[in-house]
């Protein structure tokens, strides 16, 4: 499945979209795969909004949500985990990913050019970039018409052979 997040420049109106995909995975030496945590970022090399690895931001956020769902299943942050079993499975998956990434040496990479020169995009509706542009998040959804990127990455975020 592919998802898009759309942004627009608040001055020029130029629009950007980042596409994440469940078919971008890490692969270990044994051939086991794990879904790559992804989020939109500004890539300095690409000069635009891209889909990027997001393990430094999404993993801690996911852990907080799982722990909250286990402690307080009625909280609104627990919506992703309808049952305790869902939350426990998600925690196991997260721990596998954390173990897999524990020897990671490089920073998160752009999933288009694999550069690590990224500017993180805050999870806010409007935000500024270091280049002075101000962007607004204007949409999010299922990208059913998009041809999904499909590849496997090493633990350091480069394409696996
Ligand atoms: Zn890039």
- Give the mean pLDDT of the chain: 91
Say if 74 falls within a structural domain.
Answer: no
Distance of CA 43 from the midpoint of ligand 1 (Å): 5
Say if 131 falls within a structural domain.
Answer: yes
With H, G, I as helix, E, B as strand and everything else as coil, classify residue 112: coil
Distance of CA 106 from the midpoint of ligand 1 (Å): 15
Q: How many domains does the chain have?
A: 1
Q: What angle do CA 137, 139, 140 make, to 5 degrees?
A: 115
Q: What is the pLDDT of residues 28-52, one digit of tens each?
A: 888 889 999 999 999 999 999 999 9
Say if 86 falls within a structural domain.
Answer: no
Distance of CA 7 from the midpoint of ligand 1 (Å): 17
Say if 101 falls within a structural domain.
Answer: no
Say if 158 falls within a structural domain.
Answer: no
Q: What angle do CA 62, 63, 65 make, to 5 degrees?
A: 65
Distance of CA 111 from the midpoint of ligand 1 (Å): 7
Say if 81 falls within a structural domain.
Answer: no
> What is the domain range of residue 49?
2-59+106-153
Say if 99 falls within a structural domain.
Answer: no
Distance of CA 44 from the midpoint of ligand 1 (Å): 7
Q: What is the pLDDT of residues 70-94, one digit of tens each?
A: 999 888 878 889 899 999 999 999 9
Could you give the percent of the chain with pLDDT greater than 70? 99
């Amino acid at each position: 499945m592919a998802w898009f997040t759309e942004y627009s420049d608040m001055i020029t109106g130029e629009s950007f979209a980042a596409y994440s995909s469940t078919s971008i995975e890490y692969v270990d030496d044994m051939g086991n795969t794990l879904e790559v945590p992804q989020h939109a970022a500004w890539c300095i090399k690409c000069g635009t909004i891209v889909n990027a690895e997001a393990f430094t931001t999404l993993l801690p956020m996911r852990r907080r949500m799982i722990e909250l769902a286990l402690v307080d299943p009625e909280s609104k942050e627990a919506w992703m985990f309808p049952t305790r079993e869902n939350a426990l499975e998600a925690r196991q998956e997260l721990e596998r990913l954390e173990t897999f990434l524990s020897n990671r040496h490089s920073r998160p990479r752009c999933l288009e050019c694999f550069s690590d020169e990224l500017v993180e995009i805050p999870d806010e509706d409007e935000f500024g970039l270091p280049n002075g542009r101000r962007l607004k998040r204007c949409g999010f959804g299922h990208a059913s018409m998009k041809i999904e990127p499909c590849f496997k990455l090493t633990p350091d975020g480069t394409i696996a052979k």
